[in-house]
Amino acid sequence: MIEEQSIIKVAMADLNVGSQDSLIRTTGLGSCVGLTLYDPGKKLGGMAHVMLPSSDIAREGQLNIAKFADTAVPELLSRLIELGAVRSRIVAKMAGGSQMFAFAGGNDTMRIGPRNVESCKLALEALKIPLIAEDTGGSYGRTIEIACNTGVLFIRSVQKGSKEI
């Protein structure tokens, strides 16, 4: 990558969008899911760092919509459309949702990673956005980065090396 690309950071329970010359990155995904949306025509991308499956369990006064799968996905979509993306072209990729610690007889919290993945898929289905690639599950952390000029999602992990999807 020779040309200058600006890096847009997405924190935990955060989301953001970017255009052609940007890389959108989130670091240290464990049970959280990094969900990306991309319009290949306009070369616009977006990423959400989803922490929990459903806003139903939220007990906070002011809801952080980037935190929950059911609220983050629609919000990310409308932010991307606001930026100029064409809805019918938008495709999704995602990574993360691992189970960092395996315990015998674990409670619901222990399965939060797989539940985050399921919930993101349901949200995508509801919006009729095709999920074209995913790297989810396992028991390790990931750092991901989407290149808005190509839509390629780079995934880096300590235990399983790097890959692109």
- The binding site for another protein (CB under 8 A) comprises 11-13, 27-32, 51-52, 57-61, 64, 67, 98, 100-104, 109, 112, 139-143, 157-159
- To another protein, the closest distance from the beta carbon of 31 in angstroms equals 6
- To another protein, the closest distance from the beta carbon of 29 in angstroms equals 6
22 neighbors 148 (Cβ within 8 angstroms): yes
- To another protein, the closest distance from the beta carbon of 15 in angstroms equals 13
User: Is 32 annotated as catalytic?
Assistant: yes
Residue 55 is classified by DSSP as G
Q: Which of 32, 47, 94, 129 is catalytic?
A: 32
Phi and psi based region of residue 68 (left: phi greater than 0; alpha: psi -120 to 50; beta: remaining): beta
103 neighbors 62 (Cβ within 8 angstroms): no
Q: Which two tokens stand for residue 112?
A: 């939060």
